[in-house]
Amino acid sequence: MPRKPKLVHALKMIFGVRDAEAAEGFYLEGMWSAEQGNEDAARELFRTAALLDKRFGGARYNFAALTEKRLGASPETIAAWKDYVACAADDSRQPAEIIEKVRRHIADLEAKTARG
């Protein structure tokens, strides 16, 4: 059962206070939840991690991947991938080739959604 953000985490998210340590904890729990097959919980944990650390590209990448798995080529999926790309540019842990691959993937998704 994934843990819910405590009041202190919620306040940090609301006021944009970075808590990289808490973000890492939520991210790791998200990875565990995904491995257990609980993708909805994992998605929320990755979202929480991203809100606690605006520079955490890995959390945004996993959130976008699970969003796409759940919703397919949708505006929400495209927005999640774009959020990853914007964040990843400032996250030295994110490889440039992955960022470029995601940019091409976004273009493919946008073409799919434009066709209907």
Q: What angle do CA 99, 101, 103 make, to 5 degrees?
A: 70
To the nearest 10 degrees (0 to 180), the angle between helices 57-71 and 75-88 is: 170
Q: How confident is the model at residue 3, as a pLDDT?
A: 62
Residue where the block lists tokens 């909805």: 40
Q: How far apart are CA 58 and CA 60, in angstroms?
A: 5
Q: How confident is the model at residue 7, as a pLDDT?
A: 78
Phi, psi of 51 (to 5 degrees): -70, -30
Q: How confident is the model at residue 4, as a pLDDT?
A: 67
- Do the Cβ atoms of 110 and 86 come closer than 8 Å? no
Q: How confident is the model at residue 2, as a pLDDT?
A: 59
Q: How confident is the model at residue 116, as a pLDDT?
A: 67
**DSSP state at residue 89:** T
Q: How confident is the model at residue 106, as a pLDDT?
A: 98
The pTM (predicted TM-score) of the whole model is 0.88
Please list the pLDDT of the chain residue by residue as tens digits (116 residues).
456 667 777 778 777 878 999 999 999 999 999 999 999 999 999 999 999 999 999 999 999 999 999 999 999 999 999 999 999 988 889 999 999 999 999 999 999 999 86
